[in-house]
Amino acid sequence: MPKWNSDFQAWEPDGIDSAAESELLLKRAADRANASDKPHVKVSTLFHAELAEREFSSHILRVPDVLAWAAAQGLTIDTEPDIRAFEFVQAEALLAAIERKVGNIVTPEQAMELVASNPELSKHQQASNPVSSRWLLGAEAHRQWRHLLVQAIELGELRLLDFASKLPIAPQAAAPEPKAAPEWKELAQKRAREIIKAHKANDWYPPQGTIADTIASEFRRDGVMGTGGKPLSGTTIKRHAFKGISSAQDRQLSTAPRRGK
């Protein structure tokens, strides 16, 4: 999701969103798929080296496994380019393809209507901008699908594979609580309180998940890692650092009826 720039008191895209918004992000893969002289043979892998620095690194997923998992959950994955043209897909490229598709299937006018009907997105400072509204929808879809992928991988419903060998990455023990670098918790808690305070001034009270995803993006940008030097996901930050931290109480106070004396 977008991150809050406290210096300018405005939202700005983080690396995930700006890369997915770029017209060039998936162009090479789409060209390869469309130019294949063997229409019945799938291109091997949808992959982008530019995305390897993010949470899922260069790890990939088997496309049939992803589609089967989504079907079992009653979900539909719509991407640009269509991942069905590939045997494997980099997890980060999958999220970027989902975001790009969402931004391209609606007109700016439709995007504004959809954003206006979303209680959270409608409070964004760019909600009234037709072009930015399309980007907001794509960024929100990216955030939600990232959360689902993290959960599916933690539960063993999906397996990340090594890009070169196509062998499964050694599974982690059900999202263990990082202990090697406990200072990240304090940083996350401090940053969460700053975000809540900044949003409160604009009468916006984001949920814990949105705050955690924002902090996860900032941590990846700033090199703040968890156990073993691994990037921290928003899910991990929310689970282990957000006890007692929420903007819900402030939201209740702001919406409570005020009685006269």
Q: Which amino acid, residue 98?
A: I
Reduce the DSSP state of residue 213 to 3 states and report it: helix
In this structure, is residue 164 part of a structural domain?
A: no
Residue 57 and residue 135: Cα distance in Å, rounded?
Answer: 23
163 within some domain: no
For residue 238, is it within any domain?
yes
**Domain closes at, from 110, 133, 154:** 154
Residue that terminates a domain, selected from 106, 133, 154 = 154
What is the predicted pLDDT for the residue at 206? 84
245 part of a folded domain: yes
Q: Which tens digits make up the pLDDT trace of 49-91?
A: 989 888 899 999 999 999 999 999 999 999 999 999 999 999 9
Let me know whether 108 and 212 are in one domain: no
Residues with Cβ within 8 Å of 181's Cβ and at least 6 positions away in sequence, in order, are 225, 226, 227
Predicted confidence (pLDDT) per residue in 215-233, tens digit: 988 888 888 888 777 788 8
Question: What is the C-alpha to C-alpha distance for residues 83 and 253, in angstroms, rounded to an integer?
Answer: 46
Domain presence at residue 196 = yes
Asked if 16 and 101 sit in the same domain, the reply is yes
103 in any annotated domain: yes
Least confident interval from 30-39, 63-72, 111-120:
30-39
The Cα 142–Cα 42 span in angstroms is: 25
Q: State the total domains in the chain.
A: 2
- Give yes or no: residues 14 and 141 share one domain: yes
Per-residue confidence band for 163, with pLDDT thresholds at 50, 70 and 90: very high
Exposure class string for 131-152: b at 16+ Cβ within 10 A, else e? ebbbbbbbbbbbbebbbebbeb
149 and 197, same structural domain? no
Residues 214 and 140 in one domain: no
Tell me: do 14 and 115 sit in the same domain. Answer: yes
pLDDT > 90: what percent of the chain? 30
| Domain of residue 192, residue span | 183-255
Domain co-membership, 147 together with 21: yes
C-alpha torsion sign, points 179, 181, 183, 186: negative
